[in-house]
């Protein structure tokens, strides 16, 4: 009879068959039995349809063990064994660390009732704080469909892991975080089958004692082999030994299939039921407009889900929570985990996910954000309390690097709305835009400047103030757009006309509108932003006009680490208020006159 033990040897055989490309064989070998039991005994899924919403979910957190995942898929028939020989090659879908081509390494969440999530972690990554953020979160919410398998193979990349094979210490740590923690022999198929088949009433950690390089006599439990392919003679020897132990290697086990109970859903064309309802001149903070817009969107779209990091009474996400408590998740002060949860909720395109906190706190989760982009995730993030305009809370709470951070993420769209109308439009557009969307919102209340029927698009700027004889184009966003409009009104009294542009999205930036309007003002541009100089609006504008002859850009931004103070005081001190814009306009005009 063909058994799981035979299959494990088959998985190892697939691994060694691709030895010339397999860069982490020892890390893969420590989990061969775990992967075999998971994929051919425990998990319910359709191997021909990895994205099926009824499937159990598998998360390969120890991503360098990608070859063992590919070997398992070869055993299921989803991949050809010959595909394994192309691992890490430029024309292969089998990356060195898995990406969504195989769609098997992401945390997937859907609405079906019976799926389980299995996450395989290495002992080295248990030094990461994000792991323990997620364990605390899972325990708090009693996620009894979540199973973490800890591969305790003792050896890291350059040193042994801190706890090595002290299994009871791992167990006590997991139990302290509220998990049911079970120690097993990670190379015993029988023990793994038994423990993975047990009913669960809380999140479970299976702490598997394993040997790095299991099955490779020269490398078993030895330092110095991490990330190294086996020499061909060693691989041939191991393969010969494995083949002699597999009695029926022409047979295949099939995984249990899931029940089809996930209803079909669509997250396309998520729209607001009506236009914004604001009056011109009415004052509202864009952070509050975000909360109102999100609740409105959720009112007519049941796939909209909201997360927040214990700032919901400041980001105004609490409006959504109060209206739709069953679709709100409180993530508390654990931003790395919040972004990861958002990625999971958005996977398989079954939910539209918004997550909010102070803009500055997203810097804590940059690794999760960049991995979300690599994973082709569609998540929407709102960062409130941006810039010095938040006032007395001080620099630790002021988002002054966030535009630079999100501009650097390949799939990101960066919205920077300046009033309640544009904020509501940004929320609606984000819900329908692929990739990572970041909406930057402000604390101060500012006047409504747009008509409620104004049409907005990603990458389309708005000219909010102009005349036929404008001298300079001023570009501002958020609070600085209002300062620019105030400056334009003051300068008009002095018979100096300037053009004011609201970019709406910083990425993509509407270069055409900026260039066309700047040409009308002799190529003279001033940017003003509540952000550090580096990576913000000013640099985005400079990049967009760099090839335009005769253009000059003067930038106003926050030059150094700020301090507490009243918003108006801070805008003035850092030279990004109305008076600073007026002074910059006159200086640029004077310079142009002198140049003639």
The catalytic site residues sit at: 335
Gyration radius of the chain's alpha carbons? 28
Question: Are residues 474 and 537 in contact, defined by beta-carbon separation less than 8 angstroms?
Answer: no
From 538, 587, 585, 589, select the one nearest 559 (Cα to Cα).
538
Select from 16, 23, 12 the least CA-distant residue to 75. 12
What is the end-to-end Cα distance of the chain in Å, rounded? Answer: 93
Six token digits for residue 499: 């053009």
Residue 45, Cβ neighbours under 10 Å: how many? 21
Phi/psi-derived region of residue 260, left when phi > 0, alpha when psi is between -120 and 50, beta in every other case: beta
Instruction: Please give the Cα distance from 120 to 153 (Å, whole number).
Output: 13
User: What one-character-per-residue DSSP string does 259-287 give?
Assistant: P--PPP---SS---SS-----TT-EEEHH
Q: Check: CB of residue 316 under 8 Å from CB of residue 76.
A: no
For residues 278 and 421, what is the distance between their CA atoms, to the nearest angstrom?
A: 7
- Strands of 393-460, DSSP E: 412-415, 436-440, 445-447
Establish whether the linkage from the previous residue to 508 is cis, with ω within 30° of 0. Answer: yes
Secondary structure (3-state) at 110: coil
Query: How far is the C-alpha of 384 from the C-alpha of 272, rounded, in Å?
Result: 22
Report the candidate in 517, 504, 586 with the shortest Cα–Cα distance to residue 545: 517
3-state secondary structure of 6: helix
Tokens of 567: 């918003």
- DSSP-assigned letters across all residues of 307-357: EESS-HHHHSTHHHHHH-GGGEEE--S-HHHHHHHHHHHHGGG--EEEEEE
CA 349, CA 378: separation in Å to the nearest integer? Answer: 8
Angle at 251 between CA 206 and CA 104, to 5 degrees: 45
Which residue, among 318, 338, 290, 288, has the nearest Cα to 133 in the 3D structure? 338
Do the Cβ atoms of 54 and 259 come closer than 8 Å?
Answer: yes
Q: What are phi and psi of 541, to 5 degrees?
A: -65, -45
The DSSP code for 525 is E
Structure tokens, 110: 């859907």
Q: Which residue is it, tokens 């392919």?
A: 229
By the 8 A CB rule, do 478 and 530 touch?
Answer: yes
Q: Tokens for 67?
A: 């070859």
Instruction: Of 414, 403, 419, 439, give the one whose Cα is nearest residue 510.
Output: 414
Helix (H, G, I), strand (E, B) or coil at 572: helix
């Amino acid at each position: 009879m063909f058994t799981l033990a035979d299959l494990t040897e088959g998985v190892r055989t697939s691994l060694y068959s691709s030895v010339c490309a397999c860069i982490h064989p020892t890390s893969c070998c420590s989990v061969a039995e775990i992967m075999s039991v998971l994929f051919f005994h425990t998990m319910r899924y359709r191997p021909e349809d990895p994205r099926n919403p009824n499937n159990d979910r598998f998360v390969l957190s120890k991503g360098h063990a990608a070859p063992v995942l590919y070997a398992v898929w070869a055993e299921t028939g989803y991949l050809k064994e010959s595909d394994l020989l192309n691992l890490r090659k430029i024309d292969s879908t089998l990356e060195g660390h898995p990406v969504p081509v195989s769609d098997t390494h992401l945390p997937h969440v859907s609405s079906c009732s019976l799926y389980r999530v299995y996450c395989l972690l290495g002992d080295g990554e248990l030094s990461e704080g994000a792991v323990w953020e997620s364990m605390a979160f899972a325990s708090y919410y009693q996620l009894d469909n979540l199973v973490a398998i800890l591969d305790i193979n003792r050896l890291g990349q350059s040193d042994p892991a801190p706890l090595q094979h002290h299994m009871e210490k791992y167990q006590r740590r997991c139990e302290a975080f509220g998990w049911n923690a079970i120690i097993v022999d990670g190379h015993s198929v029988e023990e793994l089958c038994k423990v993975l088949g047990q009913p669960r009433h809380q999140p479970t950690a299976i702490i598997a004692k394993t040997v790095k390089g299991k099955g490779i006599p020269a490398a078993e439990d030895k330092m110095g082999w991490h990330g190294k392919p086996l020499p061909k003679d060693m691989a041939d020897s191991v393969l010969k030994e494995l083949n002699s132990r597999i009695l029926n290697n022409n047979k295949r086990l099939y995984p249990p299939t899931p029940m089809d109970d996930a209803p079909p859903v669509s997250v396309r064309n998520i729209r607001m039921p009506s236009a914004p309802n604001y009056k011109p001149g009415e004052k509202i903070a864009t952070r509050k407009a975000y909360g109102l817009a999100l609740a409105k969107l959720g009112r007519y779209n049941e796939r909209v889900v909201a997360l927040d990091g214990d700032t919901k009474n400041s980001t105004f996400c609490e409006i959504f929570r109060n209206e739709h408590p069953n679709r709100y998740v409180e993530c508390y002060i654990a931003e790395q985990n919040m972004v990861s949860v958002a990625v999971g909720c958005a996977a398989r395109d079954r939910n539209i996910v918004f997550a909010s906190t102070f803009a500055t706190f997203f810097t804590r989760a940059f690794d999760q954000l960049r991995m979300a982009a690599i994973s082709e995730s569609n998540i929407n993030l709102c960062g409130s309390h941006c810039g010095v305009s938040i006032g007395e809370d001080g620099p630790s709470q002021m988002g002054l690097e966030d535009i630079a951070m999100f501009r650097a993420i390949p799939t990101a769209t960066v919205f920077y709305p300046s009033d309640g109308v544009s904020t509501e439009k940004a929320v609606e557009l984000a819900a329908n835009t692929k990739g990572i969307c970041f909406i930057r919102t402000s604390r101060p209340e500012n006047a409504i400047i747009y008509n409620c029927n104004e049409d907005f698009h990603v990458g389309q700027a708005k000219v909010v103030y102009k005349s036929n004889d404008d001298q300079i184009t001023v570009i501002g966003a958020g609070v600085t757009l209002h300062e620019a409009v105030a400056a334009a009104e003051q300068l008009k009294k002095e018979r100096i006309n300037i053009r004011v542009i609201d970019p709406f999205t910083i990425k993509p930036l509407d270069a055409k509108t900026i260039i066309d309007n700047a040409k009308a003002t002799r190529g003279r541009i001033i940017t003003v932003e509540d952000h550090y100089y580096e990576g913000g609006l000013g640099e985005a504008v400079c990049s967009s006009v760099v090839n335009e002859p005769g253009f000059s850009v003067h930038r106003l931004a926050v030059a150094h680490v700020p301090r507490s103070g009243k918003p108006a005081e801070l805008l003035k001190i850092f030279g990004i208020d109305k008076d600073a814009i007026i002074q910059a306009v006159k200086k640029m005009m004077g310079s142009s006159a002198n140049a003639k």
